[in-house]
Amino acid sequence: FKNQFFAPFWSKILAPLLNVSCMRLSSVAEAFWSKINPGHKFSVFVLITQTATQEKEQTKLKVSTQSQPKAVDKFLKDFEAVIGIETHVQLSTLTKAFCSCPYNYGSPPNTSVCPVCMGLPGALPVLNSKVIECAVRVGLALNCKLSLNSKFDRKQYFYPDLPKGYQISQFDVPIASGGYLDVDLPLEYGGGHRKFGITRVHMEEDAGKLLHTDDPLFQIAYSYSYQMHHIVDLNRAGVPLLEIVSEPDMRTGIEAAEYAAELQRLVRYLGVGNGNMQEGSLRCDVNISVRPIGQLEFGTKVEIKNLNSFSSMSRAIDYEISRQVELHNQGQIDQIVQETRLWEEGAQKTVTMRKKEGLADYRYFPEPDLPGVTLTEEYVDSIRESLPELPEDKRRRYEKMGLSMQDVLFLANDINKYPETTDNCMFQIADFFDTTTAGGADIKLAANWIMGDIAAYMKNEKVTINEIKLTPQELGELIASIKDETISGKIGKEILFELIAKGGTVKGLIKEKDLIQASRLAILQEL
Protein backbone atom coordinates (compact mmCIF):
# COMPACT_ATOMS: atom_id res chain seq x y z
CA PHE A 1 0.00 0.00 0.00
CA LYS A 2 1.03 3.61 -0.47
CA ASN A 3 1.83 5.48 2.72
CA GLN A 4 -1.44 7.37 2.89
CA PHE A 5 -3.38 4.09 2.70
CA PHE A 6 -1.21 2.16 5.16
CA ALA A 7 -1.45 4.70 7.98
CA PRO A 8 -5.28 4.70 8.29
CA PHE A 9 -5.22 0.88 8.01
CA TRP A 10 -2.79 0.76 10.94
CA SER A 11 -4.79 3.11 13.13
CA LYS A 12 -8.27 1.79 12.27
CA ILE A 13 -7.72 -1.99 12.10
CA LEU A 14 -4.90 -2.77 14.52
CA ALA A 15 -5.92 -0.29 17.21
CA PRO A 16 -8.96 -2.27 18.45
CA LEU A 17 -6.93 -5.50 18.42
CA LEU A 18 -4.13 -4.04 20.53
CA ASN A 19 -6.63 -2.34 22.85
CA VAL A 20 -4.39 0.62 23.53
CA SER A 21 -5.19 4.29 23.72
CA CYS A 22 -5.07 6.47 20.64
CA MET A 23 -2.15 8.41 22.02
CA ARG A 24 -0.19 5.25 22.76
CA LEU A 25 -1.07 3.79 19.36
CA SER A 26 0.32 6.86 17.65
CA SER A 27 3.67 6.30 19.31
CA VAL A 28 3.63 2.58 18.49
CA ALA A 29 2.73 3.27 14.86
CA GLU A 30 5.45 5.89 14.54
CA ALA A 31 8.05 3.56 16.02
CA PHE A 32 6.95 0.72 13.75
CA TRP A 33 7.03 2.95 10.70
CA SER A 34 10.53 4.19 11.48
CA LYS A 35 11.76 0.58 11.62
CA ILE A 36 10.35 -0.51 8.28
CA ASN A 37 11.14 2.82 6.57
CA PRO A 38 14.38 4.17 8.09
CA GLY A 39 14.93 7.81 7.39
CA HIS A 40 11.32 8.47 6.36
CA LYS A 41 9.36 10.76 8.61
CA PHE A 42 5.99 9.43 9.84
CA SER A 43 3.86 12.31 8.54
CA VAL A 44 1.70 10.63 5.94
CA PHE A 45 -1.57 11.68 7.58
CA VAL A 46 -0.87 15.22 6.52
CA LEU A 47 -1.54 14.07 2.97
CA ILE A 48 -5.11 13.02 3.67
CA THR A 49 -6.18 15.07 6.70
CA GLN A 50 -6.32 18.72 7.48
CA THR A 51 -7.98 20.84 10.09
CA ALA A 52 -11.17 22.67 9.29
CA THR A 53 -9.31 25.98 9.65
CA GLN A 54 -6.60 24.90 7.21
CA GLU A 55 -9.25 23.75 4.75
CA LYS A 56 -11.00 27.12 4.86
CA GLU A 57 -7.72 28.98 4.35
CA GLN A 58 -6.82 26.83 1.34
CA THR A 59 -10.26 27.37 -0.10
CA LYS A 60 -9.83 31.13 0.19
CA LEU A 61 -6.65 30.89 -1.87
CA LYS A 62 -8.28 28.75 -4.58
CA VAL A 63 -11.68 30.30 -4.93
CA SER A 64 -12.24 33.20 -7.27
CA THR A 65 -13.83 36.14 -5.51
CA GLN A 66 -15.47 37.71 -8.52
CA SER A 67 -18.84 39.26 -7.81
CA GLN A 68 -22.14 37.99 -9.19
CA PRO A 69 -22.44 39.18 -12.80
CA LYS A 70 -25.49 40.84 -14.22
CA ALA A 71 -28.32 39.10 -16.06
CA VAL A 72 -27.43 37.00 -19.08
CA ASP A 73 -29.86 38.57 -21.53
CA LYS A 74 -28.40 42.04 -21.10
CA PHE A 75 -25.05 40.96 -22.55
CA LEU A 76 -25.98 38.29 -25.07
CA LYS A 77 -27.21 40.80 -27.63
CA ASP A 78 -23.57 41.15 -28.78
CA PHE A 79 -22.23 37.71 -27.82
CA GLU A 80 -23.01 34.07 -28.44
CA ALA A 81 -22.43 31.21 -26.03
CA VAL A 82 -21.04 27.91 -27.30
CA ILE A 83 -21.84 24.94 -25.06
CA GLY A 84 -20.91 21.27 -25.19
CA ILE A 85 -21.49 18.54 -22.60
CA GLU A 86 -19.51 15.47 -21.57
CA THR A 87 -21.90 13.06 -19.87
CA HIS A 88 -20.79 10.05 -17.84
CA VAL A 89 -23.46 7.36 -17.63
CA GLN A 90 -22.97 4.65 -15.03
CA LEU A 91 -24.14 1.30 -16.42
CA SER A 92 -26.44 -0.95 -14.39
CA THR A 93 -24.49 -4.16 -14.90
CA LEU A 94 -24.41 -6.88 -12.25
CA THR A 95 -20.63 -6.64 -11.94
CA LYS A 96 -17.93 -4.07 -12.63
CA ALA A 97 -16.33 -3.48 -16.02
CA PHE A 98 -13.18 -5.58 -15.60
CA CYS A 99 -13.76 -7.77 -12.54
CA SER A 100 -16.53 -9.75 -10.82
CA CYS A 101 -17.15 -7.29 -7.97
CA PRO A 102 -20.77 -6.13 -7.62
CA TYR A 103 -21.58 -2.47 -7.04
CA ASN A 104 -24.44 -1.18 -4.93
CA TYR A 105 -24.75 2.52 -4.23
CA GLY A 106 -24.58 3.26 -0.52
CA SER A 107 -22.62 0.15 0.49
CA PRO A 108 -20.13 0.59 3.35
CA PRO A 109 -16.80 1.96 2.08
CA ASN A 110 -14.37 -0.48 0.50
CA THR A 111 -16.62 -3.53 0.77
CA SER A 112 -16.95 -4.20 -2.99
CA VAL A 113 -13.30 -4.30 -4.00
CA CYS A 114 -10.78 -6.82 -5.26
CA PRO A 115 -7.16 -6.77 -6.49
CA VAL A 116 -8.30 -5.72 -9.98
CA CYS A 117 -10.30 -2.63 -9.04
CA MET A 118 -7.78 -1.75 -6.31
CA GLY A 119 -4.99 -1.76 -8.89
CA LEU A 120 -2.79 -4.29 -7.11
CA PRO A 121 0.25 -5.58 -9.04
CA GLY A 122 -0.35 -8.71 -11.09
CA ALA A 123 -4.14 -8.39 -11.24
CA LEU A 124 -5.39 -8.54 -14.83
CA PRO A 125 -8.68 -7.09 -16.13
CA VAL A 126 -11.31 -9.17 -17.96
CA LEU A 127 -13.92 -7.23 -19.95
CA ASN A 128 -17.59 -7.60 -18.97
CA SER A 129 -19.42 -8.33 -22.26
CA LYS A 130 -22.55 -6.59 -20.96
CA VAL A 131 -20.66 -3.29 -21.16
CA ILE A 132 -20.24 -3.75 -24.91
CA GLU A 133 -23.94 -4.54 -25.33
CA CYS A 134 -24.95 -1.39 -23.43
CA ALA A 135 -22.54 0.73 -25.48
CA VAL A 136 -23.94 -0.61 -28.75
CA ARG A 137 -27.53 0.01 -27.60
CA VAL A 138 -26.76 3.61 -26.68
CA GLY A 139 -24.76 4.17 -29.87
CA LEU A 140 -27.63 2.93 -32.04
CA ALA A 141 -30.20 4.96 -30.09
CA LEU A 142 -28.07 8.07 -30.62
CA ASN A 143 -27.93 7.44 -34.38
CA CYS A 144 -24.16 6.91 -34.25
CA LYS A 145 -21.86 5.05 -36.58
CA LEU A 146 -20.47 2.01 -34.77
CA SER A 147 -16.82 0.98 -34.93
CA LEU A 148 -16.77 -2.74 -35.66
CA ASN A 149 -13.15 -2.78 -34.45
CA SER A 150 -12.26 -0.66 -31.43
CA LYS A 151 -9.82 -0.89 -28.53
CA PHE A 152 -9.13 0.26 -25.00
CA ASP A 153 -6.46 2.76 -23.95
CA ARG A 154 -4.85 3.89 -20.73
CA LYS A 155 -5.62 7.46 -19.67
CA GLN A 156 -2.91 8.35 -17.18
CA TYR A 157 -3.32 10.88 -14.41
CA PHE A 158 -2.76 11.04 -10.67
CA TYR A 159 -5.55 11.40 -8.15
CA PRO A 160 -6.05 9.76 -4.73
CA ASP A 161 -9.19 7.87 -5.87
CA LEU A 162 -7.38 6.25 -8.83
CA PRO A 163 -5.18 3.52 -7.31
CA LYS A 164 -3.73 2.26 -10.61
CA GLY A 165 -2.53 5.70 -11.66
CA TYR A 166 -4.43 5.32 -14.93
CA GLN A 167 -8.00 4.83 -16.13
CA ILE A 168 -8.98 2.24 -18.73
CA SER A 169 -10.82 4.23 -21.40
CA GLN A 170 -11.00 4.63 -25.18
CA PHE A 171 -9.09 7.32 -27.04
CA ASP A 172 -8.73 7.40 -30.81
CA VAL A 173 -11.12 4.56 -31.73
CA PRO A 174 -14.36 4.96 -29.71
CA ILE A 175 -17.06 2.35 -30.08
CA ALA A 176 -19.53 4.89 -31.55
CA SER A 177 -19.28 8.34 -33.12
CA GLY A 178 -21.01 10.86 -35.37
CA GLY A 179 -24.59 10.71 -34.06
CA TYR A 180 -27.27 13.10 -32.84
CA LEU A 181 -29.99 13.46 -30.22
CA ASP A 182 -33.40 15.02 -30.92
CA VAL A 183 -34.83 17.23 -28.16
CA ASP A 184 -38.22 18.94 -27.87
CA LEU A 185 -37.93 22.06 -25.71
CA PRO A 186 -40.68 22.74 -23.13
CA LEU A 187 -43.47 25.08 -24.18
CA GLU A 188 -42.71 27.44 -21.29
CA TYR A 189 -39.34 28.11 -22.92
CA GLY A 190 -40.74 28.69 -26.37
CA GLY A 191 -40.96 25.07 -27.49
CA GLY A 192 -39.39 23.96 -30.72
CA HIS A 193 -37.33 21.04 -31.93
CA ARG A 194 -33.54 20.84 -31.63
CA LYS A 195 -31.03 18.35 -32.99
CA PHE A 196 -27.76 18.21 -31.03
CA GLY A 197 -24.75 16.41 -32.50
CA ILE A 198 -22.99 13.57 -30.69
CA THR A 199 -19.23 13.53 -31.23
CA ARG A 200 -18.51 10.15 -29.68
CA VAL A 201 -19.57 7.45 -27.23
CA HIS A 202 -16.85 5.45 -25.55
CA MET A 203 -16.49 2.88 -22.77
CA GLU A 204 -14.40 3.41 -19.66
CA GLU A 205 -14.19 2.60 -15.97
CA ASP A 206 -15.12 4.85 -13.07
CA ALA A 207 -12.70 6.01 -10.40
CA GLY A 208 -13.16 5.70 -6.65
CA LYS A 209 -14.63 8.41 -4.48
CA LEU A 210 -13.22 10.74 -1.85
CA LEU A 211 -15.29 10.98 1.32
CA HIS A 212 -14.98 14.06 3.51
CA THR A 213 -16.13 13.52 7.09
CA ASP A 214 -15.71 14.73 10.66
CA ASP A 215 -17.22 11.50 12.04
CA PRO A 216 -15.43 10.54 15.29
CA LEU A 217 -15.13 6.98 13.94
CA PHE A 218 -12.60 8.31 11.46
CA GLN A 219 -10.52 10.26 14.01
CA ILE A 220 -6.86 9.46 13.46
CA ALA A 221 -4.91 8.09 16.42
CA TYR A 222 -2.61 11.02 16.98
CA SER A 223 -5.21 13.76 16.34
CA TYR A 224 -5.00 16.33 19.10
CA SER A 225 -7.69 18.65 17.75
CA TYR A 226 -10.86 18.61 15.69
CA GLN A 227 -10.07 17.56 12.14
CA MET A 228 -11.88 17.01 8.86
CA HIS A 229 -10.80 13.69 7.39
CA HIS A 230 -10.61 12.75 3.73
CA ILE A 231 -10.79 9.04 3.04
CA VAL A 232 -10.84 7.01 -0.15
CA ASP A 233 -13.74 4.67 -0.97
CA LEU A 234 -12.88 2.31 -3.84
CA ASN A 235 -16.31 0.68 -4.14
CA ARG A 236 -16.97 2.73 -7.28
CA ALA A 237 -13.56 2.03 -8.84
CA GLY A 238 -14.02 -0.08 -11.95
CA VAL A 239 -17.75 0.50 -12.34
CA PRO A 240 -18.52 0.65 -16.10
CA LEU A 241 -19.21 4.04 -17.65
CA LEU A 242 -20.22 5.36 -21.02
CA GLU A 243 -18.90 8.83 -21.78
CA ILE A 244 -21.14 10.62 -24.27
CA VAL A 245 -19.56 13.74 -25.76
CA SER A 246 -21.82 16.23 -27.53
CA GLU A 247 -20.93 18.65 -30.28
CA PRO A 248 -20.81 22.31 -29.11
CA ASP A 249 -24.32 22.86 -30.49
CA MET A 250 -26.08 24.34 -27.45
CA ARG A 251 -26.42 28.07 -26.93
CA THR A 252 -28.36 28.48 -23.65
CA GLY A 253 -28.59 26.89 -20.24
CA ILE A 254 -32.12 25.70 -21.01
CA GLU A 255 -31.00 23.89 -24.16
CA ALA A 256 -28.16 22.20 -22.26
CA ALA A 257 -30.44 21.13 -19.39
CA GLU A 258 -33.04 19.73 -21.79
CA TYR A 259 -30.34 17.86 -23.72
CA ALA A 260 -29.13 16.27 -20.48
CA ALA A 261 -32.70 15.44 -19.41
CA GLU A 262 -33.39 13.77 -22.76
CA LEU A 263 -30.18 11.79 -22.44
CA GLN A 264 -31.20 10.66 -18.96
CA ARG A 265 -34.60 9.68 -20.33
CA LEU A 266 -32.96 7.69 -23.09
CA VAL A 267 -30.58 5.65 -20.90
CA ARG A 268 -33.45 4.81 -18.56
CA TYR A 269 -35.64 3.91 -21.50
CA LEU A 270 -32.97 1.58 -22.88
CA GLY A 271 -32.47 -0.01 -19.48
CA VAL A 272 -28.70 0.56 -19.46
CA GLY A 273 -28.62 2.74 -16.33
CA ASN A 274 -30.84 4.42 -13.74
CA GLY A 275 -29.51 7.90 -14.53
CA ASN A 276 -29.91 9.15 -10.96
CA MET A 277 -27.88 12.35 -10.72
CA GLN A 278 -28.07 12.42 -6.92
CA GLU A 279 -26.22 9.09 -6.83
CA GLY A 280 -23.64 10.10 -9.41
CA SER A 281 -25.06 7.63 -11.92
CA LEU A 282 -25.30 10.43 -14.47
CA ARG A 283 -22.69 13.19 -14.27
CA CYS A 284 -22.44 16.10 -16.66
CA ASP A 285 -19.38 18.27 -17.25
CA VAL A 286 -20.29 21.39 -19.21
CA ASN A 287 -17.82 23.20 -21.48
CA ILE A 288 -18.63 26.86 -22.15
CA SER A 289 -17.08 29.62 -24.19
CA VAL A 290 -18.43 32.90 -25.53
CA ARG A 291 -17.63 34.78 -28.72
CA PRO A 292 -18.86 37.93 -30.43
CA ILE A 293 -21.79 37.26 -32.73
CA GLY A 294 -20.51 36.57 -36.23
CA GLN A 295 -17.11 35.30 -35.10
CA LEU A 296 -16.37 31.75 -36.29
CA GLU A 297 -13.45 31.03 -33.98
CA PHE A 298 -14.33 29.59 -30.56
CA GLY A 299 -13.43 31.45 -27.40
CA THR A 300 -11.46 30.01 -24.47
CA LYS A 301 -13.27 26.97 -23.09
CA VAL A 302 -14.12 26.66 -19.39
CA GLU A 303 -15.33 23.39 -17.86
CA ILE A 304 -17.93 23.33 -15.06
CA LYS A 305 -18.35 20.41 -12.65
CA ASN A 306 -20.46 19.62 -9.57
CA LEU A 307 -23.80 19.88 -11.37
CA ASN A 308 -26.22 17.73 -9.39
CA SER A 309 -29.50 18.63 -11.10
CA PHE A 310 -30.75 19.99 -14.39
CA SER A 311 -31.87 23.24 -12.77
CA SER A 312 -28.43 23.80 -11.23
CA MET A 313 -26.90 23.06 -14.63
CA SER A 314 -29.01 25.75 -16.25
CA ARG A 315 -28.18 28.30 -13.54
CA ALA A 316 -24.47 27.47 -13.62
CA ILE A 317 -24.33 27.93 -17.38
CA ASP A 318 -26.18 31.24 -17.22
CA TYR A 319 -23.80 32.46 -14.52
CA GLU A 320 -20.69 31.41 -16.43
CA ILE A 321 -21.93 33.00 -19.64
CA SER A 322 -22.53 36.26 -17.80
CA ARG A 323 -19.12 36.09 -16.11
CA GLN A 324 -17.28 35.59 -19.38
CA VAL A 325 -19.28 38.25 -21.25
CA GLU A 326 -18.66 40.73 -18.46
CA LEU A 327 -14.91 40.11 -18.70
CA HIS A 328 -15.15 40.67 -22.46
CA ASN A 329 -16.93 43.97 -21.92
CA GLN A 330 -14.34 45.06 -19.37
CA GLY A 331 -11.48 44.30 -21.75
CA GLN A 332 -10.20 41.49 -19.52
CA ILE A 333 -10.38 38.61 -21.98
CA ASP A 334 -7.03 37.33 -20.71
CA GLN A 335 -8.78 36.58 -17.39
CA ILE A 336 -10.77 33.85 -19.16
CA VAL A 337 -8.42 30.86 -18.94
CA GLN A 338 -8.87 27.20 -19.78
CA GLU A 339 -9.72 25.79 -16.38
CA THR A 340 -12.14 23.59 -14.45
CA ARG A 341 -14.59 25.45 -12.23
CA LEU A 342 -17.03 24.18 -9.63
CA TRP A 343 -20.63 25.29 -9.26
CA GLU A 344 -21.38 26.41 -5.70
CA GLU A 345 -25.11 25.98 -5.18
CA GLY A 346 -25.21 28.07 -2.01
CA ALA A 347 -23.34 31.02 -3.48
CA GLN A 348 -24.93 30.56 -6.93
CA LYS A 349 -21.64 31.05 -8.73
CA THR A 350 -18.74 29.13 -10.26
CA VAL A 351 -15.34 29.06 -8.58
CA THR A 352 -11.91 27.95 -9.74
CA MET A 353 -11.03 24.31 -9.07
CA ARG A 354 -7.90 23.60 -11.12
CA LYS A 355 -6.18 24.21 -14.42
CA LYS A 356 -7.78 22.17 -17.20
CA GLU A 357 -5.63 19.33 -18.50
CA GLY A 358 -5.02 18.83 -22.22
CA LEU A 359 -4.96 15.54 -24.14
CA ALA A 360 -1.16 15.48 -24.04
CA ASP A 361 -1.25 15.52 -20.23
CA TYR A 362 -3.01 12.14 -20.16
CA ARG A 363 -0.32 10.33 -22.23
CA TYR A 364 -2.76 7.88 -23.79
CA PHE A 365 -1.45 4.57 -25.09
CA PRO A 366 -3.17 1.26 -25.99
CA GLU A 367 -4.17 -0.93 -23.03
CA PRO A 368 -1.77 -3.92 -23.20
CA ASP A 369 -3.81 -6.18 -20.88
CA LEU A 370 -7.02 -6.18 -22.95
CA PRO A 371 -7.67 -7.41 -26.49
CA GLY A 372 -9.42 -5.28 -29.08
CA VAL A 373 -13.22 -5.21 -29.30
CA THR A 374 -14.61 -6.73 -32.50
CA LEU A 375 -18.31 -6.50 -33.40
CA THR A 376 -20.05 -8.46 -36.14
CA GLU A 377 -22.86 -7.11 -38.29
CA GLU A 378 -25.10 -9.92 -37.01
CA TYR A 379 -24.46 -8.90 -33.40
CA VAL A 380 -25.23 -5.25 -34.11
CA ASP A 381 -28.41 -6.15 -36.04
CA SER A 382 -29.66 -8.33 -33.18
CA ILE A 383 -29.28 -5.44 -30.74
CA ARG A 384 -30.90 -3.01 -33.19
CA GLU A 385 -33.94 -5.29 -33.47
CA SER A 386 -34.25 -5.48 -29.68
CA LEU A 387 -34.43 -1.70 -29.19
CA PRO A 388 -37.78 -0.43 -27.87
CA GLU A 389 -39.63 2.51 -29.39
CA LEU A 390 -37.40 5.45 -28.55
CA PRO A 391 -38.75 8.58 -26.80
CA GLU A 392 -38.32 10.70 -29.94
CA ASP A 393 -40.24 8.16 -32.05
CA LYS A 394 -42.97 7.99 -29.43
CA ARG A 395 -43.39 11.77 -29.42
CA ARG A 396 -43.65 11.90 -33.21
CA ARG A 397 -46.24 9.09 -33.15
CA TYR A 398 -48.34 10.96 -30.60
CA GLU A 399 -48.16 14.09 -32.75
CA LYS A 400 -49.50 12.13 -35.73
CA MET A 401 -52.36 10.93 -33.52
CA GLY A 402 -53.48 14.56 -33.25
CA LEU A 403 -52.33 15.32 -29.71
CA SER A 404 -51.07 18.77 -28.81
CA MET A 405 -47.39 19.24 -27.98
CA GLN A 406 -48.38 19.76 -24.33
CA ASP A 407 -50.07 16.36 -24.29
CA VAL A 408 -47.17 14.77 -26.16
CA LEU A 409 -44.52 16.04 -23.76
CA PHE A 410 -46.52 14.98 -20.71
CA LEU A 411 -47.14 11.45 -21.92
CA ALA A 412 -43.64 10.82 -23.27
CA ASN A 413 -41.51 12.92 -20.88
CA ASP A 414 -43.22 12.50 -17.54
CA ILE A 415 -39.97 11.38 -15.92
CA ASN A 416 -39.61 14.87 -14.45
CA LYS A 417 -43.16 14.93 -13.13
CA TYR A 418 -42.69 12.32 -10.42
CA PRO A 419 -39.01 12.24 -9.39
CA GLU A 420 -39.81 10.52 -6.09
CA THR A 421 -41.30 7.44 -7.74
CA THR A 422 -39.73 4.57 -9.65
CA ASP A 423 -37.41 5.09 -12.60
CA ASN A 424 -39.87 3.54 -15.05
CA CYS A 425 -42.75 5.89 -14.26
CA MET A 426 -42.61 7.49 -17.69
CA PHE A 427 -42.89 4.18 -19.53
CA GLN A 428 -45.83 3.16 -17.39
CA ILE A 429 -47.86 6.24 -18.27
CA ALA A 430 -47.10 6.00 -21.97
CA ASP A 431 -47.88 2.28 -21.97
CA PHE A 432 -51.09 2.89 -20.01
CA PHE A 433 -52.19 5.43 -22.61
CA ASP A 434 -51.25 3.17 -25.53
CA THR A 435 -53.15 0.21 -24.06
CA THR A 436 -56.21 2.37 -23.41
CA THR A 437 -56.35 3.75 -26.95
CA ALA A 438 -55.52 0.37 -28.52
CA GLY A 439 -58.91 -0.82 -27.25
CA GLY A 440 -60.65 1.90 -29.26
CA ALA A 441 -60.95 4.63 -26.62
CA ASP A 442 -61.11 8.25 -27.78
CA ILE A 443 -57.50 9.46 -27.99
CA LYS A 444 -58.04 13.00 -26.73
CA LEU A 445 -60.36 11.95 -23.89
CA ALA A 446 -57.91 9.27 -22.79
CA ALA A 447 -55.07 11.80 -22.70
CA ASN A 448 -57.22 14.31 -20.79
CA TRP A 449 -58.25 11.78 -18.13
CA ILE A 450 -54.67 10.58 -17.65
CA MET A 451 -53.21 14.09 -17.53
CA GLY A 452 -55.98 15.40 -15.30
CA ASP A 453 -57.61 13.42 -12.50
CA ILE A 454 -55.39 10.34 -12.73
CA ALA A 455 -52.16 12.38 -12.68
CA ALA A 456 -53.44 14.48 -9.77
CA TYR A 457 -54.21 11.35 -7.75
CA MET A 458 -50.78 9.89 -8.51
CA LYS A 459 -49.05 13.09 -7.46
CA ASN A 460 -51.00 13.44 -4.23
CA GLU A 461 -50.58 9.80 -3.24
CA LYS A 462 -47.01 9.55 -4.59
CA VAL A 463 -47.74 6.39 -6.54
CA THR A 464 -47.11 5.29 -10.11
CA ILE A 465 -49.84 4.53 -12.60
CA ASN A 466 -49.13 0.81 -12.22
CA GLU A 467 -49.86 1.04 -8.51
CA ILE A 468 -53.41 2.34 -8.86
CA LYS A 469 -56.34 -0.10 -9.15
CA LEU A 470 -57.64 1.31 -12.42
CA THR A 471 -56.74 -0.68 -15.54
CA PRO A 472 -56.39 0.69 -19.09
CA GLN A 473 -59.27 -1.52 -20.20
CA GLU A 474 -61.64 -0.06 -17.59
CA LEU A 475 -60.58 3.49 -18.44
CA GLY A 476 -61.47 2.73 -22.04
CA GLU A 477 -64.83 1.30 -20.93
CA LEU A 478 -65.48 4.40 -18.81
CA ILE A 479 -64.73 6.73 -21.73
CA ALA A 480 -67.04 4.69 -23.98
CA SER A 481 -69.86 4.83 -21.39
CA ILE A 482 -69.58 8.62 -21.24
CA LYS A 483 -69.45 9.01 -25.02
CA ASP A 484 -72.60 6.91 -25.59
CA GLU A 485 -74.30 8.82 -22.74
CA THR A 486 -74.84 5.75 -20.59
CA ILE A 487 -73.53 7.91 -17.76
CA SER A 488 -72.74 11.60 -17.45
CA GLY A 489 -69.30 13.12 -17.14
CA LYS A 490 -69.98 13.93 -13.49
CA ILE A 491 -70.95 10.35 -12.67
CA GLY A 492 -67.99 9.17 -14.74
CA LYS A 493 -65.61 11.09 -12.51
CA GLU A 494 -67.13 9.48 -9.40
CA ILE A 495 -66.67 6.06 -10.95
CA LEU A 496 -63.10 6.95 -11.94
CA PHE A 497 -62.04 7.72 -8.37
CA GLU A 498 -63.75 4.54 -7.17
CA LEU A 499 -61.84 2.51 -9.74
CA ILE A 500 -58.53 4.21 -8.94
CA ALA A 501 -58.80 3.60 -5.21
CA LYS A 502 -60.63 0.26 -5.00
CA GLY A 503 -60.68 -1.28 -8.45
CA GLY A 504 -63.60 -3.11 -9.99
CA THR A 505 -65.35 -2.74 -13.34
CA VAL A 506 -67.30 0.10 -14.88
CA LYS A 507 -70.31 -2.08 -15.69
CA GLY A 508 -70.25 -3.60 -12.21
CA LEU A 509 -70.24 -0.21 -10.47
CA ILE A 510 -72.99 1.16 -12.73
CA LYS A 511 -75.19 -1.84 -11.98
CA GLU A 512 -74.31 -1.99 -8.29
CA LYS A 513 -75.13 1.66 -7.65
CA ASP A 514 -77.90 1.95 -10.21
CA LEU A 515 -75.99 4.76 -11.87
CA ILE A 516 -77.68 4.44 -15.25
CA GLN A 517 -80.94 5.83 -13.92
CA ALA A 518 -79.11 8.38 -11.81
CA SER A 519 -77.06 9.45 -14.77
CA ARG A 520 -80.15 9.92 -16.93
CA LEU A 521 -81.66 12.17 -14.27
CA ALA A 522 -78.41 14.08 -14.11
CA ILE A 523 -78.44 14.52 -17.88
CA LEU A 524 -82.02 15.83 -17.76
CA GLN A 525 -81.10 18.24 -14.97
CA GLU A 526 -78.15 19.48 -16.98
CA LEU A 527 -80.47 20.12 -19.93
Question: HEC states along 94-120?
Answer: CCCCCCCCCCCCCCCCCCCCCCCCCCC
Give the C-alpha distances (Å, rounded to integers) separating 137 from 143, 214, 359, 378.
10, 43, 28, 14
pLDDT, residue 42, reads 38
How many angstroms separate the CA atoms of 93 and 242, rounded?
12
Instruction: Work out the percent of the chain whose per-residue pLDDT is above 70.
Output: 78
pLDDT value of residue 74: 57
- Dihedral over Cα of 301, 305, 311, 315: its sign: negative
For residues 233 and 59, is the Cβ–Cβ distance under 8 A? Answer: no
For residue 65, pLDDT beyond 80: no
In the chain, what is the straight-line distance between the N-terminal and C-terminal CA atoms, in Å? 85
Name the DSSP class of 250: B
What does the pLDDT read at residue 43? 36
**Model pLDDT for residues 165-204, shown as the tens digit of each residue:** 999 999 999 999 999 999 999 888 888 899 999 999 999 9
Q: Is the pLDDT of residue 89 over 60?
A: yes
Distance CA 112, CA 471 (A): 42
Q: Is the dihedral of CA 462, 467, 468, 471 positive or negative?
A: positive
Q: Quote the pLDDT of residue 428.
A: 82
Kindly state the helix (H) or strand (E) to which residue 3 belongs, with its residue range. Answer: helix 3-9
Longest alpha-carbon distance in the chain: 100
Mean pLDDT, residues 447-475: 92
Question: Which segment of 85-94, 216-225, 295-304, 371-380 scores lowest on mean pLDDT?
Answer: 216-225
Residue 425, pLDDT > 90, answer no
Among residues of the chain, what percentage have pLDDT more than 90?
61
Alpha-helical regions (H) of 167-301 = 253-270
pLDDT score of 360: 78
Secondary-structure percent of the chain, ordered helix, strand, coil, rounded to 5: 45, 20, 40
How far is CA 93 from its chain centroid? 16
How far is 411 from 451, CA to CA, in rounded Å?
8
Q: Mean pLDDT over residues 437-464, rounded?
A: 92
pLDDT (0 to 100) of residue 19: 37
Instruction: Specify the higher pLDDT residue, 223 or 399.
Output: 399
pLDDT given for residue 416 in this prediction: 39
Please answer whether residues 170 and 199 qualify as being in contact, where contact means their C-beta atoms are separated by less than 8 angstroms: no
Write the pLDDT tens digit of every residue in 232-277: 999 999 999 999 999 999 999 999 999 999 999 999 989 999 999 9
Q: Say if residue 375's pLDDT is above 80.
A: yes
Model confidence at 226, pLDDT cuts 50, 70, 90, reads low
**The pLDDT of residue 46 is above 60:** no
Per mean pLDDT, which range of 1-5, 54-58, 152-156, 307-311 is the poorest?
A: 54-58
pLDDT of 58 strictly over 90: no
Average pLDDT, the chain: 82
**Which residues have C-beta within 8 Å of that of residue 7, sequence separation ≥ 6?**
29, 33, 42, 44, 45, 220
- Over residues 465-486, mean pLDDT: 92
Sheet holding 49-50: strands in order across? 49-50, 228-233, 209-213
Spatial separation of the C-alpha atoms in residues 253 and 246, rounded to whole Å = 15
Considering only 127-131, 138-142, 391-395, 412-416, which range has the smallest mean pLDDT?
412-416
- What is the pLDDT at residue 523? 53
pLDDT > 80? residue 519: no
pLDDT of residue 358 exceeding 80, the answer is no
Instruction: Tell me the average pLDDT across 3-21.
Output: 43
Judged against a pLDDT cut of 60, whether residue 514 lies above it is answered with yes
Q: 4 and 160 in contact (C-beta within 8 Å)?
A: yes
pLDDT of residue 413: 76
Q: What is the model's pLDDT at position 489? A: 86
pLDDT surpassing 50 at residue 442: yes
Higher pLDDT, 520 or 342: 342
Tallying the residues shown for the chain, one arrives at: 527
* 219 or 329, which is more confident: 329
CA separation for the pair 350, 66 (Å, rounded):
9
Q: Among 3, 25, 27, which Cα is nearest to 12's?
A: 25
pLDDT at res. 218:
56
Kindly report the number of other CB atoms within 10 A of residue 514's CB atom.
9
pLDDT the model gives residue 67: 34
Q: When comparing pLDDT for 317 and 30, which is higher?
A: 317
Please give the single-letter amino acid code of residue 41: K
Residue 421 pLDDT grade (very low, low, confident, very high; cuts 50, 70, 90): very low
Least confident span in 85-99, 208-222, 335-349:
208-222
- Give the mean model confidence (pLDDT) for residues 219-223: 48
- pLDDT, mean of residues 54-76: 41
